[in-house]
A and B are shown apart, each in its own frame.
Chain A
Amino acid sequence: MYTPDFDYYAPQTVQEVCSLLTQFGSKAKILSGGTDLMVKLKHGTIDYEVLISLKELNELKGITYQEGKGVVVGARTTHNDLVNSDILNEKYLSISEAAHHMAGNQIRNIGTIGGNIVNAVPSADLPPIFIALGAIVTILGPEGERTVPLEDFFTGPGKTVLAQNEIVTYITIPDQPTTGSNYIKFGLRRSGALAVVGVASSVTMEGNIIKDARIALGAVAPVPMRAKNAEAALIGKEYTDELLEQAGVAASQECSPISDIRGSAEYRRDMVRVFTKRSLKASITKGHSGEHLETEHGK
């Protein structure tokens, strides 16, 4: 294994990134934290002659709250930035918790949300919770800016709506009345395991009635998916454990997992049932919170 030769650019402006991408075409690729890209380059599964680093673009790093817009997360924001953000800890602890249970500390220090999303791996941990919170992706291209709801961003494993010369700049979580949200990553060990199933939910309650609910599933379909049947089973109903079980069953039926070395489709499907139920319950009863294989030992 070795790192092949490539030309390296570290432009000062986002516009420059787009023009370099346009100039070099399919020979060029954006380099953010590099935790996906460099691994693939070393393994020889991809090959680029030009890497365009986002390193100098400090405006893409960080989390702000913008009145009327919501929480805006720059694409270069690292996983540990998400973990340690005061804004997120206060408003959407569920995001910080989701980021906290990714990879290991070294990767969290360098891996970015932009890379996690654009990479479009079905098991990626950040898309489900951002989809459950209705996140919007801001994309910049040579023709200007456009926005896409995150849930419409993915078109297949490794595929997105992004054009070759576009860059993701921000991910925005609009202001919302949600009561709580939650992401459960089900991996096969406590740390450093990719999700076998990931379930995120957000719920808006009115008294005991579920006014609105969003459920997003990871690792059980070609793209992170909304479990719309499960949501429909909940909305307008009174919260009971049986209702959550029904939603779990609906989610398990509408997902389309595959069997691989991490788990059979059958197991994944049933885990969607279990974790949909558990995630919803947490969203209803614990506010914006996080959970990961929470067992006695893990606490």
Chain B
Amino acid sequence: MSTPEANTIQPKTSTLDMSNLLGRMSGSQTSAPFTVCLEAKNLNLYYGTTRALIDVNVQIPKQQVTAFIGPSGCGKSTLLRCFNRMNDLVDNCSIKGQVLLDNDDIYHQAVKVPLLRRRVGMVFQKPNPFPKSIFENVAYGLRTMGVKNKKILSESVERALNGAALWDEVKDRLDSNGLSLSGGQQQRLVIARAIALEPEVLLLDEPCSALDPIATAKIEELLVELKDRFTIVIVTHNMQQAARVSNFTAFMHLGEMVEFSDTTTLFTTPKSERTNDYITGRFG
């Protein structure tokens, strides 16, 4: 836990001079100081007639940790779920605008959603392991891909559990039920389950809200490590957490993307009044 500050330094310096170009009008910029992995362009989302996302423009940098903060109900989860089309499951939800993954529109009709979701993994607020063995939990995605070879499966499972810093704790009990783990272990199991598919992007929606500080610390440590292999987007209510783990931070309010910049800038010299009010605790 002593390293996150150091981790955030590198992008900070590289984007310092460009930071004025980031922010709420980030969609207008022509080039970014980082490789863009995910991008939302004029994204509007309606639940029935209520507009939950309003002209959202944001670019998520590759192999960095990006945090979404904002008051409850501002649309963080909604935006996150747009990135792997989880909102397709919501009955009366309609979407206008574009979401680009490596410059391809993921809402294009030719896109195969299951394949997309393998590229963009997701971890939910509450750990939701399947009522299966630890091994089967991690192997679940691979099995749906049709992998049957025992050796490949067990290698991938071990790699994923190692990646989620859970291997040492469960290597002797891979056959026991995933639900027999503690909450923090379950959340790491779910992360292992997601990274077993080697996705490009990992979306995490308040992954630590159900965990105690020690488990939270473990997950945060993990995220910083995983950043080297994946692009990570995390929704959090905990501003310390955002400051600790993320390289970039986006502030949302009432469905709008108010400000997006590198983490230090956003927390030290926010451009928007609303951001300032929020991070100083005046609302939200």
Q: Do the two chains bind?
A: no
The interface of chain A, by Cβ under 8 A from chain B, is none
The interface of chain B, by Cβ under 8 A from chain A, is none
